[in-house]
């Protein structure tokens, strides 16, 4: 198969990703921090550890400020909704991700 839309899905993924996610969903695929049972606690510890590693990778100082999101659109909307106000001036191009362009049009 030849797949040319990698920007949308990152398909195909490396085999290691499939193996890790299969193991994760079979052993820790519960809501982290939602309850006090062992699997929820173990999953929350994994999320907290990942948050700390990513904070260090990005030279952050507080892992509690690192936020996970669903995808690029969700991330960009979180940032733009948190920073921009109506009639703010934004410089971008038509090559920008469409979630940025849509948000800028709404604010205009």
User: pLDDT tens digits for 64-73?
Assistant: 999 888 888 8
Predicted local confidence at residue 18, as pLDDT = 93
| % of the chain exceeding 90 in pLDDT | 26
8 A C-beta contact, residue 83 and residue 89: no
Could you state, in order of their start, the residue ranges of all structural domains in the chain?
A: 13-65, 72-107
Q: Is the whole-model pTM more than 0.85?
A: no
Question: Please, which pLDDT band fits residue 105 given cuts at 50, 70 and 90?
Answer: confident
> From the CB of residue 11, how many other CB atoms can be counted at a distance below 10 Å?
9
8 A C-beta contact, residue 45 and residue 51: no
User: pLDDT tens digits for 17-48?
Assistant: 999 999 988 888 888 877 888 888 888 999 99
| pLDDT for residue 100 is more than 90 | no
Q: CA 72, 24, 78: angle at the middle one, nearest 5?
A: 20
DSSP designation for 64: G
């Amino acid at each position: 198969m030849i797949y040319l839309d990698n920007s949308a899905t990152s398909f195909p993924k490396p085999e290691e990703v499939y193996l890790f996610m299969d193991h994760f969903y079979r052993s820790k695929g519960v809501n982290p921090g939602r309850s006090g049972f062992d699997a929820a606690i173990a999953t929350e510890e994994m999320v907290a550890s990942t948050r700390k590693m990513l904070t260090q990778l990005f030279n952050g100082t507080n892992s509690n400020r690192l936020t996970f999101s669903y995808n690029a659109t969700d991330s960009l909307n979180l940032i733009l909704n948190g920073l921009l106000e109506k009639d703010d001036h934004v410089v971008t191009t038509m090559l920008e991700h469409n979630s940025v362009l849509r948000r800028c049009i709404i604010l205009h």
